[in-house]
Structure 1
């Protein structure tokens, strides 16, 4: 790996940045390095609101969807695994897309695919078409997952923690609202289709800020002088580094538990005796309590010299929550929900770490793509294995044991990424 030509960590920007990373992703105009563009920030927050709603709304209505489409337990596990499969496969292509197409134009297509996919999947009676159109919707999320850390590094390099906290909080709010309201909306309209399809409107709104930015990008490209020469960055390859693999394993293990929780926690509480509405609210409670955690965690991660205390603290909370769900899921449900929310703070922490462990925008998008795409391959095992173990045993002891094993792997990888260093240096 060729190291950055400057030895000063504080001055990475002149190195290895193509025309898009040095400019506003929509307008092509240069932005202030500390503040970025207001429209870019608004667009990022609207995109973040959509990044999990399509998943948690399905988790809250999984029983109704299984009955309506005739899905088996294994097929339902496959449906809840689909997000991680889509994120892994399409997320890996995002750096290639960004090198050829301005991020604003990519996000227009991504959010449009999310909106259309959500509409199409609720108007079909075919399980196969439901899976395919869900994959279309999730493809838009897969691309946005990779782009947001890059946009933070590119436009808000001196406010990484604050902006990462803002968009992860928006992501958490969208997740919470979808989980809490999917069942009431479905009951109000008399169909699970309404409970899933309503979120297409939110995705359509997220397209709006990126359309003018994409148009300005096109105009700026036409005005560009053909003789302009821009330095081409050295390609960053996280797959050749220990840090890249440690980040991927940590991201994968925490996503494995996160998607298993989103897909199956409501079912666990239903089995424990809660009504569907209450089970959906308990699922929403995990994400609702995660809102302040999502806002504060990036700031904490950015200020600490090492991530070790955060890694160990998050592991402890998750372990206690899993044991509680196995032993007393009904008696102390609110306590387990609170501990799960703390444990899920691993997600905003690792998103922040992606920016902290790269010097440049090129390094950030490469590390983001590798950690997330590889991580989601690992995460795909979560909902699927929980579904298989749940159907095979008829209970939750084996699925929770599996999640505890994944937590041990997560902790080991977390200790490896705790020490400050940069992927470009490796």
Structure 2
């Protein structure tokens, strides 16, 4: 009994550390949307340029995925996490002193690099340390990411109101990085070692299935990044206050948190994830249609449907990738590839939506485009038969 407790305690501490780290992976982006009108009042920004504040961190996340695992092997997992948190914290704190769009964009890119180093590492770490509960632990990790987004979206406008400064609303989230940094520093002797890779580096660029998984993840994440960037500005244009629009985005991300916890637990009962994935995509399609056709009527229902769909789709896309390979290091390499290509795809969506808004004067065509993308994803889901996984990766 003592041995079980001794083994369980470090695992619990490791999972708590992962949760604290994950809370830092979205506030630098999620706080921007609700404060955008205030930022644009102070710094001249078109919607296309403003989209770079979400697009460039996501693109940086994609590019950094390809060398993130290599860095973690050289530095060790713990040092990689500490370095990443330091980068995110300093990039976020620097926003207290920004005077131009260029400086704001640079801070966003730096935060994106820090985020990517962690996101390249975590799936392999979770599959290695929690092999019997991959879906549940991935759900908790991804849910914590969305929890950080919910905190930032909901409270950034309140911080701005209290301090009279949008810069404070963006910079206060450095506190989360400091908290996680102190926790990981304190775990020097307690955290269990994570196995390093003994498997040759694999070139997933040659695998058609890896590309399909990457496209699926990228298209799903495109809906997440686009909603994160533009839902609050969309409702501000529909007459809502920044505070209420921020709370609506916070409500949507709270629904993502609930779905991110519940859906992987449900999906854990079967290795065939197609029914769950299909249901999530139908929820997202319904949410986008409601957002377009009736943004003011039943205004809580549409973000609820979007949040439940997107919140479940994000972890499930990674879980399906992990399902394809049993070896934790190979699976980690695959998810790094999937996220790398996927984030490059997803990073384009806020820019395209911003250009659509500048040209057509409305975000509605962006929502229609994303609805069509979700229909394409429904067709891709049909190909995720677990009985066929083994033949795709020899």
Q: What pairs up with 1:16-415 in 2 under 5 angstroms? A: 37-213=11-187, 232-344=198-310, 345-415=312-382
Shift of 1:422: 4.7
Shift of 1:153: 0.5
Q: Cα 1:129–1:373, aligned 2, differ >3 Å: closer, same or farther?
A: same
Provide Cα deviations, 1:12-46, integer angstroms capped at 9, x if missing partner: xxxxxxxxxxxxxxxxxxx9998863332221010
User: Structure 2: which 5+ runs fail to align?
Assistant: none
Shift of 1:216: 8.5
- Look up the SS of the partner of 1:181 in the other structure: helix
Shift of 1:302: 2.5
Choose 231-240 or 189-198, whichever is displaced more. 231-240
User: Structure 1: which 5+ runs fail to align?
Assistant: 1-30, 221-229
Choose 258-267 or 90-99, whichever is displaced more. 90-99
Aligned equivalents of 2:38, 2:331: Cα separation in 1: 40
Structure with more of its chain in helix, by fraction = 2
Among 362, 386, 391, which residue is 1:419 paired with? 386
**Higher Cα Rg, which structure:** 1
Choose 339-348 or 349-358, whichever is displaced more. 349-358
8 Å CA contact 1:286–1:337 kept in 2: the answer is yes
- Look up the SS of the partner of 2:131 in the other structure: coil
Q: Cα 1:202–1:415, aligned 2, differ >3 Å: closer, same or farther?
A: same
Q: Cα 1:75–1:83, aligned 2, differ >3 Å: closer, same or farther?
A: same
Q: Cα 1:353–1:319, aligned 2, differ >3 Å: closer, same or farther?
A: same
8 Å CA contact 1:175–1:287 kept in 2: the answer is yes
Provide Cα deviations, 1:292-351, integer angstroms capped at 9, x if missing partner: 211122222222231111121111111111111111111121110111012202102112
Choose 150-159 or 354-363, whichever is displaced more. 354-363
Shift of 1:157: 0.5
Give the structure-1-normalised TM-score.
0.85
8 Å CA contact 2:58–2:112 kept in 1: the answer is no
Aligned equivalents of 2:296, 2:107: Cα separation in 1: 36
Aligned equivalents of 2:22, 2:359: Cα separation in 1: 36
Aligned equivalents of 1:193, 1:170: Cα separation in 2: 24
Aligned equivalents of 2:321, 2:9: Cα separation in 1: 20
Shift of 1:214: 5.8
- What is residue 7 of structure 1 aligned with on the other side? none
Provide Cα deviations, 1:52-77, integer angstroms capped at 9, x if missing partner: 11111112111212222211221112
CA RMSD of aligned residues (A): 2.4
Q: Cα 1:424–1:405, aligned 2, differ >3 Å: closer, same or farther?
A: closer
Aligned equivalents of 1:374, 1:354: Cα separation in 2: 13
8 Å CA contact 2:272–2:386 kept in 1: the answer is yes
> How many residues end up aligned between the 2 structures?
386
Shift of 1:354: 3.0
Give the structure-2-normalised TM-score.
0.92
Q: Cα 1:211–1:306, aligned 2, differ >3 Å: closer, same or farther?
A: same
- What is residue 225 of structure 1 aligned with on the other side? none
8 Å CA contact 1:354–1:367 kept in 2: the answer is yes
